[in-house]
Chains A and B, each alone.
Chain A
Amino acid sequence: MGAELGNYKSCVSARSTDKELLKHAQDGGIVTQLFAFALEEGIIDGAIVAANKEFAAKYPSKCMQDSSNFDMIEPWRPIPAIVNTKAELLAAAGTKYNISPNVSLLKEATRSFGLDKVGIVGTPCQMQAVRKAQLYPVGMRNVGASIALAVGIFCMENFPYQSILQLVEDHAAMKMESVKKMEIGKGKFWVYGKRGQVVQLPLKITHKYEQPGCHVCLDYVANLADVSTGSVGSPDGWSTVMVRSKIGDSVWGKAMAAGCFETQPIEKVKPGLELVTKLANEKITKNKKTLEGRATFGVGKALRNPYI
């Protein structure tokens, strides 16, 4: 194994033992279950998640306070929000395949929301942002020490909201408000309608709509999270879970002891870590090429490299 999966202490295939929770979750409900447990145990006193329009209507005081008018928030556009209860967690479960700037709430969580122990879920790049905020807190006063649980989700790419709109409404010919779930898996982009219809788009179509910043991203499995999780590697309805830090190890251990999750050894499930490793390598190799290309992009002119 190379460095593509980062450092981790343990890896399993898992899902929540809460059947009700699983109905709301994207995969094995790892994120929602782990935060629900951490809230109950006082390990965190709130978590930053990606909520949506319905959530904002129901819990307006839990959402990012900015100039956005929540009446204007479109279906499937994520809104970073702070949750303090399991009901709120459930209302924000599930993957939104477009940008949710969760880190934008990191400082506010400790200010107007008054949290001392913050949970945050995010993509690998957002986990990088969290760790940079801890080591180089240029504008993140009193943030570093309050981060109590950072859960990372695997990520191949993300999309601007308008890209998802285009993919769902133009390519898949469905209305955004009629969509129940979106998913990327088995080499396709899946759109599930509330009335049972399913449309799949080949990733060949989705690629050009990706957010450009994703093309220099060198992390697939959230190497810097306390615990990272994704669907890839595990059977349908299960998640691959990598426990990475001391904090992650401690919280995961307690959640296991409390019966929050059922697990299977990752070596026993199909397709297992082999597929995770393969996809991680593909992503990193492709994006390293993009970075190399940027160095000779113009005629004697380079584009900026953020890693040096």
Chain B
Amino acid sequence: MADKITVGYTHLSGCTGCTVALADNYAGLLTLLDKYVDLKYMPTLADARHIQQVDVSFVEGSVCINDKLAVEEIKETREKSAIVVALGGCACYGNITRFTRGGQQNQPQHESYLPIGDLIKVDVYIPGCAPTPELIRNVAVMAYLLLKGTKEQKDLATAFLTPLMKLAAKNEACGCDLIVDVINQGLCMGCGSCAASCPVRAITMEYGKPNVERDLCIKCGACSAQCPRGFFNTDVISQYEAINEAIMAALQ
């Protein structure tokens, strides 16, 4: 189909949880592949594995700079993709791979893992560990509208994606961001979104404010990205009803 967007999936040092999250869209994923997306390469779900020229590439995992192949793959991904999406905490921020010190069989000398943004320019971030099937779906639909939609749809997709593009300016995340970027800035209103988002329950709400158990934090970036006082693009979120309906209709 000519009006599909071409998509690739590069798998670096990630646990395949992001792949599973994508697959957990079930029928939604099949509709995406059927109507909107031509999946050119992907290690787990497609026959072709080698990086090709695409409109959008999703990258799972951080880059091990001690691994020549990984470094080549991330550079090739950048060179061959119009839009690069860092999928999941490891690609965005290093996440759990930030804690590695090497020594793991069968490549014990691999010890230096970087978020992909340290080596290439990244366009869109989808933080979280694992990222959610729903946000992957929403970004995929919006990427389609951005590239193939009407003028109006392009504007909506741009407005939707802009905050996720701005997240790409920063390659580090921690539960401490809630303290530094929200509470220290006088912005926290005590909703508890951060605590709900944390995959490892590092955040509890004490007297209406987040308390971060820093030793538990795996640096996935979900909490501060979910925080309404992290970003809140009122124009887009106010249209939640219409946008939700449109996405569900598109995936019917």
Contact = CB atoms under 8 A, between A and B. Distances in A.
A147 to B, nearest CB: 10
B205 A132 contact: no
Contacts of B232: 128, 132, 306-307
Interface stretch (A174-182, A210-218, A227-235): A210-218
Interface centre among A80, A108, A132, A217 (most CB of B within 10 A): A132
Given A101-B192, A103-B192, A306 B134 contact: no
B14 to A, nearest CB: 17
B192 A107 contact: no
A16 B222 CA distance: 40
Interface in A199-246: 211-218, 223-224, 245-246
Contacts of B21: 141
B100 interface: no
A214 B164 CA distance: 25
B132 interface: yes
Interface string B181-215: 10001111111111111110000111111000000
Interface in A121-149: 122-123, 125-126, 128-129, 131-144
Interface stretch (A35-43, A60-68, A87-95, A188-196): A60-68
B134 A141 contact: yes
B207 A135 contact: no
Interface stretch (A156-164, A251-259, A260-268, A270-278): A156-164
Contacts of A108: 196
A102 interface: yes
Contacts, number: 177
Given A137-B132, A214-B189, A303-B186, A161 B208 contact: yes
Contacts of B240: 131, 134-135, 224
Contacts of B196: 103-108, 133, 139-140, 143
A211 B241 CA distance: 30
Contacts of B206: 68
B139 to A, nearest CB: 10
Chain A contact patch, size range: 35 or more
A140 B132 contact: yes
A106 B222 CA distance: 15
Nearest to B131: A138
B244 interface: yes
Interface in B109-159: 126-128, 130-135, 138
A282 B205 CA distance: 31
Contacts of A33: none
Interface stretch (B37-45, B50-58, B223-231): B223-231
Contacts of A122: 191
B252 interface: no
Contacts of B197: 107, 138-140
Interface of A: 64, 66-68, 77, 80, 98-108, 122-123, 125-126, 128-129, 131-144, 158, 160-162, 211-218, 223-224, 245-246, 303-304, 306-307
Given A131-B238, A141-B133, A160-B209, 7 more contacts: A66-B204, A103-B192, A104-B195, A106-B196, A138-B222, A141-B130, A216-B187
